[in-house]
Structure 1
Amino acid sequence: MSTNATMPKIALGAWSWGSGAAGGDQVFGNHLDERELRPVFDAALEHGLNLWDTAAVYGEGSSERILGDFVKDEDRERVLLSTKFTPQIASDSPNAMQEMLDGSKQRLHADVIDVYWIHNPMDVERWTPDLIPLAKSGQIRSIGVSNHNLAQIKRANEILGEAGLKVSAVQNHYSLLHRSSERAGILDYCKENGITFYAYMVLEQGALTGKYDSMHPFPQGSGRGDSYNPHLAEIERLIEALRTIGKCHDASPAQVATAWAIAKGTLPIIGVTKVRQVEQAAAAAQLHLTDDEVALLERLGDETGVHTLREWEQDMD
């Protein structure tokens, strides 16, 4: 990426910011606005965590709008912005991708987007070529594909390759409970081709933080509550191992789960809504697990038998 900002080991996610369809209130049970989130953004820059991931679809643009309100006050070269084109909300216009990008740029107060993603592989042949003029005109610095399986990633790379471009980033659900991208060979493909693998839902929307258990479930009526509350008892042994390993490193379960994702060669996206979470993410980037610790966590993760595929995803295996 031709920007003065350097790439951190962790990206910060703004999915849970704002409200509305696919927004923080419905998915996470949060109700957060600029007043509460400004200190979070400021703390991130202080800690060198300057890569922010969002999408036009999150809260019907409200996530981008809140983030953009903060970005407009900063030197643009200090902040890396990652946002997404979501085919499911595209118009019928032949310029649908350009129009969605224009909306994102306006809300984010940015002329250039550092990483622009196709959010879901609704139609690889239809949508991938539309990235080419955006990249050639300098409106986007690098190209990513999210929720794509290995065949779809390879096909997108072929289409872009004909124009002298490439897939620079892949963003898939990846955690100790959900390693299908690894089993499918996607992580290996990314390493072999110089592609950054962004791991989203590394903490399974809070299920791997140790904050929630059978006695302390997620908020009722939220997307994550519906998905994880039935499985909290099954993941207790994994949480206990995260705690035990954390004590050896003076770290929390969430920091250990994040450090695991970094140890696997991925760039985890950590959703942040509090200053404390930013500080913990920055510390997690400095945490180094042993091979034995990584192996133990993966064995316990597999033994839970919990399958955390979500409604918008395809299984990568």
Structure 2
Amino acid sequence: MSLTLDTYRLLGRSGLRVSPLALGTATFGTEWGWGAAEDEARRLFDRYVEHGGNFIDTATTYTEGSSERLLGAFARRRRESLVLATKYSTLRRPDDPNSGGPHRKSLFASVESSLRRLNTDYIDLLYLHVWDFSTPVEEILRGLDDLVRQGKVLYVAMSNVPAWQVSRMQAIAELRGWSPLVALQIEYSLAERTGERDLIPMAREMGLGVVPYSPLAGGLLSGKYSRSDLAGEPAASEGSTRKSFNAALGMVTERTLGIADVVKDVATELGRTPAQVGLAWTLHNPAVTAPVIGARTLAQLDDNLGALDTGLTAAQLSRLDAAGAIEPGIPHAYLAGDHGRGATRGDLKIQLRA
């Protein structure tokens, strides 16, 4: 496999063309204690775009709004050639209950705020960022469709939403002639593959392109963590605040460190970096449109871009698959087993669709 940022892919069941790696901009700004200051963020943006990249990911509350503000300044002269994706539903003001959630008031206010910060008249791709189990799906879908009809949003998508709700919403949108969902953003990496049970198959069936975030498991697959992090020892290296944050999320376990060891071994065989191998594995999944890469320095960005021409042999892919394998769970294990297959097919030979 050899790709470039200007080897564009279609996003889901749409005609929108996007780069095979999206530039994540949660690192634009230092409000969270880690990230890139404005000058370095500008260099990251320019490097990505100069290589043909056009798919840029942000959210209304990334770095307290600095991510959108910086991106708006950087994108001003290239706006039409870029696909800007942002998100809504996370709480924008701690004391205002209606400044978060996926409901109509939050949606319209958040989009207007994003338009101002991004210094643009329209958003190419808008995700519902985080599901909250409280807003009727018809309210969400109608609000999104209204924004598309107004020209303020071109395409709509979901992130961090249960598979059954996404499939339900897609069916309702199709039946009522509302704007269809074209993408699904989920956490997905060699270390976090539970999306393979329902979310990714659902996305393929319903016409949504999968846009994984944290494809390197918060840096774990790039070799930033060791067994010493299991003991909770404070990280002394640069970026330790983010390391502590990721460790607190439970990313660092014996299992995930074991996966990282296999990634490192394959990288050594290929003369590549672990980050390039981890990203390359994700790119091999036909359901994945564009992993979101987040870099704080040019060196990190260049390293990530090297995944595009990192080839993996069938044997190496098998080793990586085995290292990060998960139990399929119910009902998938039953349906894939001899008993489940036999219940519907017996001994008959039936060729299934690919």
Normalized against structure 2, the TM-score is what? Answer: 0.75
Which residue in 1 is equivalent to 2:79?
A: 76
8 A contact 2:158–2:185 mirrored in 1: yes
- The reply to whether residue 169 of structure 1 matches residue 179 of structure 2 is no
Give, in whole Å, the separation in 2 of the partners of 1:248 and 1:198: 28
8 A contact 1:13–1:269 mirrored in 2: yes
Residue correspondences, number: 293
Give, in whole Å, the separation in 1 of the partners of 2:172 and 2:196: 24
8 A contact 1:112–1:141 mirrored in 2: yes
Shift of 1:103: 0.8
Amino acid in the other structure paired with 1:110: T
Amino acid in the other structure paired with 1:84: K
Equivalent of 1:47, from 45, 51, 58?
51
- Matched residue of 2:221: which SS? coil
Equivalent of 1:226, from 243, 248, 260?
248
Give, in whole Å, the separation in 1 of the partners of 2:158 and 2:37: 29
Amino acid in the other structure paired with 1:209: S
8 A contact 2:220–2:257 mirrored in 1: no
Which residue in 2 is equivalent to 1:57?
A: 61
Larger CA deviation: 241-250 vs 131-140: 241-250
Shift of 1:199: 0.7
Equivalent of 1:17, from 28, 31, 34?
28
Equivalent of 2:148, from 127, 130, 135?
135
Give, in whole Å, the separation in 1 of the partners of 2:279 and 2:213: 10
- Matched residue of 1:56: which SS? coil
- The reply to whether residue 86 of structure 1 matches residue 89 of structure 2 is yes
Equivalent of 1:235, from 256, 275, 280?
256
Which residue in 1 is equivalent to 2:202?
A: 189
For structure 1, list consecutive stretches of 5 or more residues without a partner in the other structure: 304-317
For structure 2, list consecutive stretches of 5 or more residues without a partner in the other structure: 1-9, 93-97, 230-234, 327-354
User: Measured at CA, do residues 278 and 220 of structure 1 come closer, stay the same or move farther in structure 2, by a change above 3 Å?
Assistant: closer
Shift of 1:236: 3.4
- The reply to whether residue 250 of structure 1 matches residue 258 of structure 2 is no
Give, in whole Å, the separation in 2 of the partners of 1:244 and 1:255: 12
1:44-76 Cα deviation digits (max 9, x unpaired): 11112221111001122111112112112x221
- The reply to whether residue 37 of structure 1 matches residue 45 of structure 2 is no
Equivalent of 2:164, from 142, 151, 154?
151
1:8-51 Cα deviation digits (max 9, x unpaired): 1111111132244xxx32xxxx1532122111111111112221
8 A contact 1:124–1:155 mirrored in 2: no
1:233-286 Cα deviation digits (max 9, x unpaired): 543332222122223333211111111111112121111121122222222122
Amino acid in the other structure paired with 1:106: R
> Alignment identity in percent?
27
1:206-237 Cα deviation digits (max 9, x unpaired): 11101322357472584223235752x54333
Give, in whole Å, the separation in 2 of the partners of 1:4 and 1:173: 24
RMSD of equivalent CA atoms: 2.7
Give, in whole Å, the separation in 2 of the partners of 1:50 and 1:250: 28
Give, in whole Å, the separation in 2 of the partners of 1:247 and 1:5: 37
**1:107-122 paired onto structure 2 within 5 Å:** 107-122=117-132
